[in-house]
A and B are shown apart, each in its own frame.
Chain A
Amino acid sequence: MLEPVENSTLASLTARFGAAVIESGQDKGDLVAVVTRDSLHEIVAFLRDTSELDFNMLIDLCGVDYLPRKPRFEVVYQVHSLERNERLRLKVTVPEEDCRVATLSDLYPVADWLERECWDMFGVVFEGHPNLKRLLMYDSFVGHPLRKDYPINRRQPLIGPKN
């Protein structure tokens, strides 16, 4: 649950995008905004390119698996303004049957690898990504190991005994 907070960033975000910002507030002192999936790219571009906001760094991007909740997945973005020293967390929920989000690699080059990791571990497809292939596991690996329905011990050795 997010606590309400007076903040100019969240205020300008809700003023500009209205219903696309589902929920906003603070969680243990961090600014959080839950946004709709379709408006994510537009919102991040707005946060990056508006001079008063100037969120010029994508710190991290990761997936969360909330099995058995529906919608099952969540992708969490941490953006940071180096000049204003402000951080904002954006959350997008992603259903399992339509597991895709728009890529941010055209806005932040670092998103390339972060999104590849998220695809590798959770199987979230980032539409428009220039090179969406596995980053941590090897190409012959089947499945997405950080999904909660992937058995933690299911090994797929390249050499050596199969278990």
Chain B
Amino acid sequence: MALKPMLGGENWVTSRLDKVVGWARKYSVFPYPFVTACCGMEYMSLSSSHYDLDRFGMAFPRFTPRQADLLFVVGTISHKIAPVLRRVYDQMCEPKWVIAFGVCTCTGGFYDNYATVQGIDTIIPVDVYIPGCPPRPETVIQGMMLLQEKIARQKQEY
């Protein structure tokens, strides 16, 4: 109220630029679904109307790393596909985040064998791990909300 005469009767909102940018980024995440296995079906059902990812501002999957800022690694990553995953991650622009969806992506799961990468954190940095085989949609939504909190709280680069 005391500011009113000073600001000439206009309505002002004062905030920190970091907070505003974080809030904006939090609700405009563009996921790149890197889908390799059965978790892909889970991801498809999750991203269809029943669970409504549009609530989180994550409705638009972008199928090119140049338009995405969230790498959604969904399914088993074999050693043969690992260099491709690494290249996709490298081609994404900063700021970028990674979600590991499902136990195979997080740790290799029960594929303790010659073909499977034992967790994608051996190749690329991961922000949020979503466990489960397959993860329930509620689990994934919680993971996304955790990531949104992380995005809002982090030091923003612009």
Contact = CB atoms under 8 A, between A and B. Distances in A.
B79 interface: yes
Contact of A159 (B82, B112, B114): B82
A157 B117 contact: yes
Interface string A123-157: 00000000000000110000001000011111111
A153 B123 contact: no
Contacts of B118: 155
Q: How large is the interface on A (under 10, 10 to 19, 20 to 34, 35 or more residues)?
A: 10 to 19
Given A152-B114, A155-B79, A159-B123, 14 more contacts: A145-B115, A150-B114, A151-B114, A152-B113, A153-B114, A155-B114, A155-B115, A156-B79, A157-B79, A157-B117, A158-B79, A158-B83, A159-B82, A160-B122
Nearest to A145: B114
B19 interface: no
A158 B114 contact: no
Contact of B122 (A137, A145, A154, A161): A161
A151 B122 CA distance: 21
5 cross-chain pairs, A with B, having the tightest CB-CB distances, nearest first: A160-B122, A145-B114, A160-B123, A157-B79, A138-B80
Interface string B65-84: 00000000000000110110
A159 B83 contact: yes
A120 to B, nearest CB: 12
Interface of A: 137-138, 145, 150-161
Contacts of B153: none
Given A152-B112, A153-B112, A160 B80 contact: no
Interface of B: 79-80, 82-83, 86, 112-115, 117-118, 122-123
Contacts of B83: 158-159
A85 B56 CA distance: 55
A154 B123 contact: no
A149 to B, nearest CB: 13
B113 A153 contact: yes
A27 to B, nearest CB: 30
B87 to A, nearest CB: 10
Contacts of B112: 152-153
24 contacts: A137-B115, A138-B79, A145-B114, A150-B114, A151-B114, A152-B114, A153-B112, A153-B113, A153-B114, A155-B79, A155-B114, A155-B115, A155-B118, A156-B114, A157-B79, A157-B117, A157-B122, A158-B80, A158-B82, A159-B83, A159-B123, A160-B122, A160-B123, A161-B122
Contacts of B79: 138, 155-158
Contacts of A161: 122
